A = this chain, B = another copy of it.
Amino acid sequence: MTEGFRFKQVLVVRLDLDMGRGKAAVQCAHAAVSAAEEARTHLHNWWKSWIEEGQLKVAVKVPDLDSILDLERKGRSKGIPVHLVKDRGLTQVPPGTITCLGLGPAPSDVVDSLTGNLALL
C-alpha cells in the first residue's frame, strides 16, 4: 500500500518501555521532526522529494534498545539521516531513556532493506 513512494521515513519505537499511546505519539513526532531536519540540512534533495510526495511515514516496533541501536548503526552506515530520541524523562520513563529512532527520509528501497521485516506499531 505504500508502493509508488520513492522516499519514506520510518519511525522505530521500543516496545519494552510500555509507553502509552500519547507518549509513543510524541516520541514519534520528535523523531520525525529531527530526522527530517537532519535531511533538510544535509540531504536536501531527498528531503524535498519526500515533502513533495506527501511525506510518507511508517511507524514500526522493535523489542528492545539493542534493536534500536543496531538500526541506527546500519542507517548511518548507509548514509540515511537518523535521529535517536532521548526522552527528558518527565513522564513514564527515566531521564535519558532512548525511546525511538527516526530513519529517513531516504530512498524507500534503502529504508526497506533495514526495516522491511519489522511489524507495524
Contact = CB atoms under 8 A, between A and B. Distances in A.
Within the oligomer, what is the number of copies of this chain?
2
A54 B36 CA distance: 15
14 contacts: A13-B25, A21-B21, A21-B24, A21-B121, A22-B59, A22-B61, A22-B121, A28-B28, A28-B29, A29-B32, A29-B59, A30-B32, A30-B57, A54-B88
Interface size class of A (residues with CB under 8 A): 20 to 34
A34 B33 CA distance: 9
A6 B74 CA distance: 36
Interface of A: 1-2, 9, 11, 13, 21-22, 24-26, 28-34, 36-37, 51, 54-55, 57-61, 88, 90-91, 120-121
